[in-house]
Structure 1
Amino acid sequence: MVSFKLSSVIALALAGSALNINAAAVGKRDGAAIDKRPSYTGVKAVDNCQSFTDNFDPNTDLHQHWEKMNNASTYSLTSDGLEMKILNPRGSGLGPGSLFSSKRLMQYGFIEAKMKSAPAGGLVTAFIFMSPNGDEIDWEWVGDEVQTAYYYQGIPDFSSADAKALKDQSTNYHTYGIDWQPDAITWYLDGEVYRKVTKESTYKDGEYHYPSEAAHVELGLWDASGSESTAAWAHGPINWSEHPDHVSAHVKYVKVDCYSS
């Protein structure tokens, strides 16, 4: 079994489906050209942040930008990009999966991935920011749902989550982006604004519950069939009789754009 730091995801599953929709199409962004982004002069960059693009061709050196890659049998580089796999556990626990965590932290910036989620209920495909102390900003896919969420210092505030059906997320590639700024988080789907949350809207209990700590970029695929409630949230448990060897999610590329100070 792969160990993930996606604590909020598990907590969300255990808490049920208390979801608060907060989406709006308020603009458009050319997700294919992050080098054309304006400079945010008011944002102080993390010293070790490094912008990069991985196209995940067969010659990509995964160790240049990523760590925590787990067992090599759970991923491969193909002509179609990075294949992340959940392996059939063959009756002995949960299927081992993939986790990729960026070597460098970033504090504010833009990330983007073109990908297809795993085509099986009971599995979670993830593209997220995760900080060492629990600040988190998510794109996640379960069954035919795409979910967005943010969390502050690991507090399980499930009202931050949004879930909508995206019927072809496992059969067709879509481009997903997160624009994380000091005053707002914007999620993009295929270049269109999918959801936006402002820092001002997160104020409660005398403070802003807004993710602001430097974070790693993470890609992951994991088996959520371990408990009844988690499996139900992920539309599982997975039926391994339909998947004799493994189930895969595919990532064409990942782009990371650090903001300049």
Structure 2
Amino acid sequence: MSFLLRFGLLAAAISSVTAQTWTACNPLNTTDCPANPALGDQHTWTFNETSTLNNKVWKITAGDIGFGKEGAEFTILERLDSPTIQSEFYIFFGVVESHVKAATGGGVVSSVVLQSDDLDEIDWEWIGSDGGRVQSNYYGKGNATYGRAGFHDVEGGATDGFHNYTTHWTKEKLEWWIDGKLVRTLNYEDAVGGKNYPQTPCNVRIGIWPGGDPKNPQGTIDWAGGPINYDTVPYTMTLKQLRVQDFSSGKEYRYGDMSGSWQSIEIVKGNSTVKEELNKPPPKPLSQRWKELPNGAKIAIYCVIAGVCASALGLITFCCIKQRRLGRKEYSAEATKYDSERTEMLNWQTEWRKKGGYQPVSGA
């Protein structure tokens, strides 16, 4: 079943779920769509418990993504959870290599998808109740007719461990590979003479969703392996590593017309902002940055530190003296008060004695 169709049905049936496959502007309908930022390079992401997502490279379009020892975790914890990430970059033909352990569970669907603004689509999909296989699929221009899915056995099981699922995509053919073995090939001309062949710049979308939710159409529920059992959550898909290679290079990709053909795509020359972001050197440790400072800068820093310390010491000294003086005043006031009260008591005692003092009662 088309990833696009499934999410369109899911979004229509359940308004609180954000569809994982969608387009903000379809270049087949207008010439005003923004250009697609290019990757223009290749990059590998390895995920573990210390990983984070660079929001200039990836955005979370639904739910929350966790990170554990094995990789990035896409987890269904409650009804309608559908955690998904989407790349901020596009590739114009290329390679997507994902090391995935699919989620278990009937009605649970894990997916790695390439999708363009004009709804070309290339899929890897895992049904949680069919842990020994993975499905491959493709769609052109949102054409969601059935019968294009391929079913491929995964040695050792797709839900029991990590496997390498690779898409190799050129303008001539599309290949799906599992653990280095070619399992399917689609030639351009075999997709209705190229009409339904994915051929426009695509971004990468990775996620998990409850295809077996009871509000989905029955056909979707059946395809997803039956109703999902929310009483046995969590259901987790894990992504250990991802490599993406763009076969084109440049700043961005523009649709030259509304044909949706690869020949109409214009590659804008320039530096890819995503590529620059990915190639930024990691922050240097403080010790290294200190070593690289010129001596004059170090002396200036020492002087500033010395000045700050001197100011702080002066402030502390002033506060101590002020507090000491205040303490003396308070002590003097209390001593004066004590002396006054003591004198008053002595005077009272003297007057009392003069008047006879205490007289015992006779016969007591």
Check whether TM > 0.5: yes
Q: Identify the range of structure 1 (162-171 vs 121-130) with the bigger mean alpha-carbon deviation.
A: 162-171
TM-score in terms of structure 2 length = 0.55
The one-letter code sitting in structure 1 at the alignment partner of 2:134 is V
Tell me the residue number matched to 1:178. 167
Tell me the residue number matched to 2:144. 156
Which of the numbers 209, 219, 237 marks the counterpart of 2:227? Answer: 237
Matched, 1:70 2:62: yes
Q: Distance in 1 between the 2:5 and 2:165 partners?
A: 20
Do 1:178 and 1:186's aligned partners in 2 also have CA atoms closer than 8 Å? Answer: yes
Matched, 1:211 2:198: yes
The runs of 5 or more residues in structure 1 that have no matched partner are 14-45, 90-94
The CA deviation at 1:214 is 0.5
The CA deviation at 1:12 is 10
The CA deviation at 1:9 is 4.1
Tell me the residue number matched to 1:20. none
The CA deviation at 1:48 is 1.8
Any idea what SS the aligned residue of 1:163 has?
strand
Q: Distance in 1 between the 2:139 and 2:50 partners?
A: 36
Q: Distance in 2 between the 1:177 and 1:184 partners?
A: 14
Matched, 1:253 2:241: yes
Q: Distance in 1 between the 2:218 and 2:145 partners?
A: 21
Do 1:8 and 1:151's aligned partners in 2 also have CA atoms closer than 8 Å? Answer: no
Q: Distance in 2 between the 1:239 and 1:59 partners?
A: 31
Matched, 1:6 2:25: no
| Greater RCO (Cα-Cα under 8 Å, separation 6 or more) | 1
Bigger share in helix? 2
Change (3 A) 1:219 1:62: same
TM-score in terms of structure 1 length = 0.75
Any idea what SS the aligned residue of 1:221 has?
strand
Q: Distance in 2 between the 1:88 and 1:260 partners?
A: 41
The CA deviation at 1:70 is 2.8
Any idea what SS the aligned residue of 2:110 has?
strand
Change (3 A) 1:122 1:101: same
Do 1:202 and 1:208's aligned partners in 2 also have CA atoms closer than 8 Å? Answer: yes
Q: Distance in 1 between the 2:81 and 2:37 partners?
A: 34
Which of the numbers 208, 215, 230 marks the counterpart of 1:221? Answer: 208
Matched, 1:114 2:99: yes
Q: Which has the larger radius of gyration?
A: 2
Q: What do the CA deviations read for 1:63-106 (whole angstroms, capped 9, x no partner)?
A: 2421134333xx211111011101222xxxxx312111111011
Tell me the residue number matched to 2:187. 198
Tell me the residue number matched to 2:75. 85
Query: What is the number of residues matched between the two proteins?
Result: 214
In the TM superposition, 1:12-27 aligns within 5 A as: none
Do 1:137 and 1:149's aligned partners in 2 also have CA atoms closer than 8 Å? Answer: yes
Tell me the residue number matched to 1:56. 47
The CA deviation at 1:128 is 1.1
The CA deviation at 1:260 is 4.2
Q: What do the CA deviations read for 1:190-224 (whole angstroms, capped 9, x no partner)?
A: 011010000011135xx532111111111010011
Percent of residue pairs bearing the same amino acid type: 26
The one-letter code sitting in structure 1 at the alignment partner of 2:4 is S
The runs of 5 or more residues in structure 2 that have no matched partner are 11-35, 250-364
Q: Distance in 2 between the 1:214 and 1:248 partners?
A: 29
The CA deviation at 1:60 is 2.5
Do 2:114 and 2:121's aligned partners in 1 also have CA atoms closer than 8 Å? Answer: yes
C-alpha RMSD of matched pairs (Å): 2.3
Q: Distance in 2 between the 1:7 and 1:221 partners?
A: 14
Any idea what SS the aligned residue of 2:174 has?
strand
The one-letter code sitting in structure 1 at the alignment partner of 2:68 is T
The CA deviation at 1:133 is 1.5
Any idea what SS the aligned residue of 1:54 has?
strand
